[in-house]
Amino acid sequence: MPQNLLEQLRQFTVVVADTGDIEAMEKFRPQDATTNPSLITAAAQMPQYRPIVDEVLKEAHKELGDGASDKAVANLAFKRLAIVFGEKILKIIPGRVSTEVDARLSYDTQGTIEQARSIIRMYDAAGIGHERVLIKIASTWEGIRAAEVLEREGIHCNLTLLFGLHQAIAAADAGVTLISPFVGRILDWYKKDTGKDYQGADDPGVQSVTRVYNYLKKFGYKTLVMGASFRNLGEIRELAGCDLLTISPQFLGELESTEGTLPRMLDPQKAAALPIEKIKVDKATFDRMHAEDRMATDKLKEGIDGFAAALVKLENLLAARLAELESRAPAAV
């Protein structure tokens, strides 16, 4: 019986669900799952998850007391909400969940370290071990330095919003567990900048992730590469063989319903044979390479701003929901 593309992909790539929708995870049963503020915000607005949101709000209100403002309660609640979704996700999947540090801390090394430790403490309190959690941090120089400290403490990190080779090398040198280069967002930038359309191996996002993968495999780094942010099935096909791919429920469904042959495109043995020059990435080199890469500069800033805006939206949604709960049944909150 012929295998669908999803079954074939799983033979050489770990499939990760790129969603905060628990029902989608129950359907596709991925190995791992990753969320971000935008996905959590979307999930929090779904009617089926309203009881979860309400319970988190009530607990946050109880902890802070009646004198706390709705904004303060909402701020605590959104941090707890990511953990609650993480707990529920980990009951479905056998692997790990990625939980993101506040994007507004992306250039604050110490702030990132402290919030990551806080996230791990909350998972610990829920009886979930470090080995099942990845702390998601933006791939700024400051974020990478935070991840280096956390990895030494046994807290595993997923460096996200990664658009350039300099970010990947710096993260791998820091010993991070996993990096998430963003395929589709790179494509978006080049399409807008050049006015061209790109297909298959010509896709700049595919080329970027392939370059990152080959470099890390060539020089024996333990850091895993997880392609993220896909715009079409062609990108996924071209990156078959990447250590992990985090895929939306829409594309998981398309892969599952599509038959055909899916050849392995990325392979560590092939990478080892490539003539690749080793690059030493200190802060000066990182800053220079980042400044020279307009795409990486634009997309990192845009990504951080977008995740920060999603957090503000989520806080506002939670504050509005809390006010609604208080007006309906003040004694119960």
Report the C-alpha gap between 48 and 42 in whole angstroms.
12
For residue range 192-242, list pLDDT tens digits in order. Answer: 999 999 999 999 999 999 999 999 999 999 999 999 999 999 999 999 999
Does the annotation count 58 as an active-site position? no
Kindly indicate the confidence band of residue 329, based on its pLDDT and cuts at 50, 70 and 90: low
CA nearest 215: which of 180, 265, 244, 172?
172
Predicted structure pTM score: 0.92
The tokens for 278 are: 């080793």
pLDDT averaged over the chain? 93
Q: What is the pLDDT of residue 331?
A: 52
- Overall average pLDDT of the 102-123 stretch: 96
Homologous superfamily (CATH) for 5-332: Aldolase class I (3.20.20.70)
Q: Delimit the domains of the chain by residue range.
A: 5-332
Q: What is the pLDDT of residue 330?
A: 53
CB 120 within 8 A of CB 155: yes
Q: What is the pLDDT of residue 73?
A: 87
Catalytic member of 136, 217, 218, 299 = 136
299 phi, psi to nearest 5 deg: -75, -35
| Beta strand 178-181 pairing with 157-162 | parallel
CA nearest 83: which of 49, 56, 45?
56
